[in-house]
């Protein structure tokens, strides 16, 4: 056991912590990981004995040691942290959500994943130090380089134990003497420029280390490692020929920690610079192409200090702003004559930058601990230094999270050279027992930064030092972010592979197929050469995403166990397989307040906004053997769908695949208004949509249904859209929503104005345009002849008539007889919002003009207002709807 204790001590643990950890975890790496995540911070040394402090530790605000504090540091402790310093680090509890309860009996059940599955609601306040970097000229080099400051090295670290490990390694490798391990008495002084020089490129840094790490003692002429001070034997010299680096750089965990720390710092800077330049290029491209930006650059908080050396500044970044996405639909797609040259140039520049970033990732990955390394692992592969894990969590996780938050599968596929390398990193990390827990850990991100008040000025002649209070909050972990991409990839694969249905070659054409015009048939033809290649490219990329997720899960089962993976999967986003085949799950708890109801509603809506389901009509079974076997659908465009049952149009399949990938994760859902989709599980071109009326409109909280068909020439032509909430063809809810179901929108080609851009416009634009432009606050002015009549009595009468129609049809009618497959969605929508809707109904009843409900709202404009509460049936509809809402709240069956 003493050998294992010594290994842990060399990594920065105290003797007491090492022994306590090894008593609970026989494996050294597992013990190191538990020490590193703070599980043994309460262990203290007293005369060499192991003593347990109170389990009720007092959390202190973690604070970095500043250079002014270093004067008080004696550096004499073997573990790198003296007793006075330990107060700054020891009391940090890594996971308050899963900490062991005070007074828990020894041996009682303890959560084995404490420190891993901690809540994303976690919030940490940390004081970080910002220093001016030192610029030096290295021997044999004609250029000057900056040296990584202690503040840069430890930036972004809210964990007390991590700070102690980082501080210990930084001090060890930047100052003091490295004695010869062979007992000759010689020693070599260490300087900050030895290990913390930030070269322009990572290969230059590696070359520099190769020149200084293997040291030959000037006195005994024996070789030793300059990073750890131990001898280098012949066995340490073995390295696969495929690795273009010296084997000495894999000698010890100290080297591993510093190489990954410096390398990931370089990666972070290159990524931020690349992302900032890409954002500028996208803006320039947007001016000419109006192309929607696929990925947002994270908010960057400028440092407090005015430093001319921009590349040496500490950059703090926050998670992308959560909440409602900006509306993309405007009712039309733009100018078809737009210039695409700016976009194409930006894409080419982006490709070059991605290749540069991917190459840097590959170079750094060489030093990532890997038990599957070609030629066998080195000591540093098995004994991971805690600082390596710290930098992976804080620096690599930032870069990977930004890339994985991309909501465009097409953009990711175009940048596959970068994403393929990212997937290699994730697979390597998940296969290592000491690193695998990173896949489940929420990523701590900066949400705010402010200067510390009352700072003392730096002494004359010393670099300026500033302190900042940084607020960190938890966000989705790597595996959770990857799952969102997996959902997109699976949807795209369904679009690419699930379009064609088998049919006998000699099958006779149906009557519907015979009626297809020659023009329609021509639209379905496609030479498919270039498109098929693009299809294959997207198919390969999607398969790689899915395979990466499977590989990570297999590795996690091996390294962490099946229980770990099961718990991880329980928190991942999911797309339900089918809704019609599932029984209604346990009712969503609405809570006691409007805030809790809002939270429950959005959480529920996010879960069910997109689903695959069976939209076919079961065969009657009355036909003979010659009966057409093509399925029928519960769908307005049934005939059109059946005509395309056996089509194989590569360009259309690619467009639908891309469309589905976006729709799975980008449908807007909010308390005020949401969009839900149901896609047939075998025909992804057969779609049903439900839009809830936006707040502040006469459509508020109504459920409005649409049938959508992606025709033979999609997306060179717009989709076919039919409005279905018409009270049997009697109600015209809007100048743009006809009683026969016609939807007037220039984007669909059913209204004048700029229309659909072939290959550019999307179904999501159509849906959001209906939500925002048609279901609007004053629908009267949507009629061109009435556009200047906003706020008039006629406009108010028109809106009052719509409110009556909404209550009778889009609320009461849909709730009493919900159309398939919307029963569960409609009932849950009204149950979760019952209190709010009742208040809304009272207000609408007060505002009603008492006129009769007219199916064509134009006639309502000319009716004279009567006393509120007249016998127009509105009060009765409101009372009946309230009764149903009360039953929903009580969990009663509406049919009773």
- Arithmetic mean of pLDDT, 197-213: 92
Q: pLDDT tens digit string along 389-424?
A: 889 988 999 999 999 998 888 889 999 999 999 999
Q: How far is CA 696 from CA 14, 329, 433, 778, 844, in A?
A: 63, 19, 54, 9, 11
Question: What was the pLDDT predicted at 447?
Answer: 84
Q: Write out the two tokens for 717.
A: 């032509």
Q: What is the pLDDT of residue 274?
A: 83
DSSP, residue by residue, 209-252: HHHHSEEE-TTT--EEETTT--B--GGGG---TT--S-GGGGS-
Q: Answer whether residue 767 shows pLDDT above 80.
A: yes
**pLDDT given for residue 522 in this prediction:** 40
**pLDDT in the model for residue 163:** 81
Q: Give per-residue pLDDT as tens, 339-385.
A: 555 667 777 888 899 999 999 999 999 999 988 887 777 878 888 89
- The region of weakest confidence among 46-55, 394-403, 501-510, 734-743 is 46-55
217 classed as catalytic: no
Average pLDDT over residues 481-501: 80
Residue 529: exposure state from Cβ atoms within 10 A (0-12, 13-18, ≥19): exposed
pLDDT bin (cut points 50, 70, 90) of residue 280 is low
Tell me which of 225, 542, 744, 861 is the catalytic residue. 744
Q: Is the pLDDT assigned to residue 335 strictly greater than 50?
A: no
Query: If you average pLDDT over every residue of the chain, what do you get?
Result: 77
What H or E segment, with its residue span, contains residue 63?
Answer: none
* Among the listed residues 310, 314, 311, 305, the one whose alpha carbon sits nearest the alpha carbon of residue 463: 305
Q: Is the pLDDT of residue 74 over 80?
A: no
pLDDT at 201 > cutoff 50: yes
Give Dmax over CA atoms of the chain in angstroms.
109
pLDDT bracket for residue 103 (50, 70, 90): very low
Average pLDDT of span 805-828: 95
Top pLDDT among 69 and 1 is at 1
Bond prior to 408 in cis (omega within 30° of 0): no
Q: Can you tell me the distance from the alpha carbon of 89 to that of 161, in angstroms, rounded to the nearest whole number?
A: 6
Answer whether residue 172 shows pLDDT above 80.
Answer: yes
pLDDT per residue over 611-661, tens digit each?
Answer: 999 999 887 665 555 556 789 999 999 999 999 887 778 888 888 998 988
Q: What is the pLDDT of residues 831-868, one digit of tens each?
A: 999 999 999 999 999 999 888 888 886 666 666 655 44
Query: Which one has a higher pLDDT value, 506 or 620?
Result: 620
Average pLDDT over residues 88-104: 33
Share of the chain above pLDDT 90, in %: 40
Q: Which residues, at least 6 apart from 455, have a Cβ–Cβ distance to it below 8 Å?
A: 466, 467
pLDDT given at position 190:
94
List, for residues 723-752, the tens digit of each pLDDT value. 999 999 999 999 999 999 999 999 999 887
What pTM was estimated for this model as a whole? 0.73
- Does the pLDDT at position 507 exceed 50? no
The domains found in the chain, sorted by start residue, are 407-441+477-503+528-570 (no CATH), 575-621+628-890 (3.10.110.10)
Alpha carbon 384 to chain centroid distance? Answer: 28
Residue 504 has pLDDT above 90, yes or no: no
Tokens 């049997």 found at: 728
Q: What are phi and psi of 443, to 5 degrees?
A: -90, 125
199-210: average pLDDT:
92
**Stretch 670-679: mean pLDDT, rounded?**
96
Express as a percent the part of the chain with pLDDT over 70: 70
CA pair distance 164, 641, nearest whole angstrom: 65
Radius of gyration (C-alpha) of the chain in whole angstroms? 32
């Amino acid at each position: 056991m003493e050998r294992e204790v010594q290994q842990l001590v060399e990594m920065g643990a105290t003797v007491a912590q090492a022994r306590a950890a090894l008593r609970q975890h026989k494996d050294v790496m597992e013990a190191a990981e538990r020490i590193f995540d703070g599980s043994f911070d309460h262990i203290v040394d007293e005369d060499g004995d192991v003593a347990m402090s109170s389990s009720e530790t007092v959390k202190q605000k973690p604070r970095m040691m500043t250079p002014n504090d270093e004067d008080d540091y004696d550096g004499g402790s073997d573990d790198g942290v003296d007793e006075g310093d330990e107060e700054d680090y020891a009391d940090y509890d890594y996971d308050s959500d899963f900490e062991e309860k005070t007074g828990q009996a020894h041996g009682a059940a303890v959560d084995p994943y404490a420190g891993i599955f901690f809540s994303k609601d976690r919030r940490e306040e940390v004081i970080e130090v910002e220093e001016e970097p030192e610029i030096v000229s290295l021997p044999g080099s004609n250029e000057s380089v900056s040296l990584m400051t202690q503040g840069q090295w430890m930036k972004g670290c809210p964990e007390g134990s991590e700070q102690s490990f980082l501080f210990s390694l930084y001090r060890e490798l930047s100052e003091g003497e490295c004695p010869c391990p062979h007992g000759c008495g010689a020693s070599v002084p260490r300087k900050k420029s030895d290990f913390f020089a930030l070269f322009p490129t990572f290969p230059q840094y590696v070359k520099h280390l190769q020149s200084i790490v293997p040291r030959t003692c000037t006195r005994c002429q024996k070789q030793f490692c300059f990073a750890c001070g131990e001898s280098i034997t012949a066995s340490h010299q073995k390295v696969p020929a495929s690795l273009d680096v010296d084997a000495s750089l894999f000698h010890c965990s100290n080297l591993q920690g510093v190489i990954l720390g410096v390398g990931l710092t370089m990666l972070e800077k290159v990524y931020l610079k690349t992302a900032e330049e890409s954002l500028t290029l996208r803006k320039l491209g947007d001016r000419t192409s109006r192309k929607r930006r696929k990925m947002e650059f994270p908010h960057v908080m400028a440092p407090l200090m005015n430093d001319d050396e921009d590349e040496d500044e500490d950059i703090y970044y926050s998670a992308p702003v959560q909440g409602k996405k900006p509306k993309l639909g405007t009712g039309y797609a733009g100018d078809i004559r737009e210039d695409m040259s700016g976009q194409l140039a930006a894409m080419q520049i982006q490709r070059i930058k991605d290749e540069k970033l991917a190459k840097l990732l590959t170079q750094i990955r060489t030093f990532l601990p890997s038990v599957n390394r070609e030629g066998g692992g080195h000591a540093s592969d098995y004994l991971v230094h805690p600082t390596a894990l710290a930098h992976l969590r804080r620096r690599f996780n930032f870069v990977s999270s930004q890339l994985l938050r991309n909501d465009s599968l097409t953009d990711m596929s175009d940048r596959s050279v970068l994403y393929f390398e990212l997937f290699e990193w994730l697979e390597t990390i998940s296969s290592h027992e000491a690193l695998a827990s990173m896949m489940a850990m929420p990523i701590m991100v900066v949400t705010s930064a402010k200067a510390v008040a009352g700072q003392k000025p730096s002494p004359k002649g010393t670099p300026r030092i500033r302190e900042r209070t940084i607020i960190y909050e938890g966000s989705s972990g790597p595996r959770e972010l990857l799952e969102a991409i997996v959902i997109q990839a699976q949807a795209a694969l369904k679009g690419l592979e699930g379009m064609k249905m088998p049919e006998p070659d000699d099958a006779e054409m149906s009557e519907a197929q015979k009626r297809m015009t020659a023009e329609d048939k021509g639209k379905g033809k496609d030479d498919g050469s270039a498109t098929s290649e693009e299809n294959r490219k997207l198919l390969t990329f999607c398969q790689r995403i899915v395979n990466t997720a499977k590989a990570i899960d297999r590795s996690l089962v091996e390294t962490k166990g099946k229980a770990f993976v099961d718990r991880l999967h329980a928190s991942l986003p999911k797309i339900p397989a089918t809704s019609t085949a599932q029984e209604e799950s346990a009712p969503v708890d609405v809570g006691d307040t409007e805030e809790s109801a809002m939270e429950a509603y959005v959480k529920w809506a996010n879960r069910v906004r997109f689903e695959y389901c069976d939209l076919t009509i079961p065969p009657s079974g009355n036909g003979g053997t010659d009966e057409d076997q093509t399925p029928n659908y519960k769908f307005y465009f049934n005939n059109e769908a059946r005509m395309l049952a056996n089509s194989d149009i590569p360009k259309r399949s690619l467009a639908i695949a891309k469309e589905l990938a976006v729709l799975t994760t980008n449908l807007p859902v909010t308390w005020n208004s949401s969009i839900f989709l149901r896609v047939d599980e075998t025909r992804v071109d057969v779609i049903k949509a439900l839009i809830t009326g936006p707040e502040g409109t006469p459509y508020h909280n109504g459920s409005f249904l649409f049938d959508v068909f992606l025709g033979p020439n999609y997306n060179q032509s717009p989709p076919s859209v039919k409005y279905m909430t018409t009270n049997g063809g009697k109600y015209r809810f809007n100048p743009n929503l006809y009683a026969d179901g016609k939807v007037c929108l220039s984007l669909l080609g059913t209204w004048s104005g700029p229309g659909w851009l072939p290959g550019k416009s999307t179904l999501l634009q159509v849906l959001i345009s209906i939500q925002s432009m048609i279901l609007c606050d004053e629908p009267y002015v949507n009629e061109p002849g009435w556009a200047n009549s906003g706020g008039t009595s006629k406009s108010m009468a028109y809106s009052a008539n719509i409110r009556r129609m909404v209550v009778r049809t889009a609320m009461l009618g849909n709730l009493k007889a919900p159309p398939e497959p919307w029963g569960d969605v409609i009932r849950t929508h009204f149950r979760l919002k019952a209190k709010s809707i009742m208040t809304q109904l009272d207000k609408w009843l007060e505002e009603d003009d008492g006129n009769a409900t007219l199916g064509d709202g134009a006639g309502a404009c000319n009716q004279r207002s009567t006393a509120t509460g007249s016998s127009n049936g509105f009060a009765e509809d409101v009372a009946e709807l309230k009764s149903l809402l009360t039953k929903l709240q009580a969990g009663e069956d509406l049919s009773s």
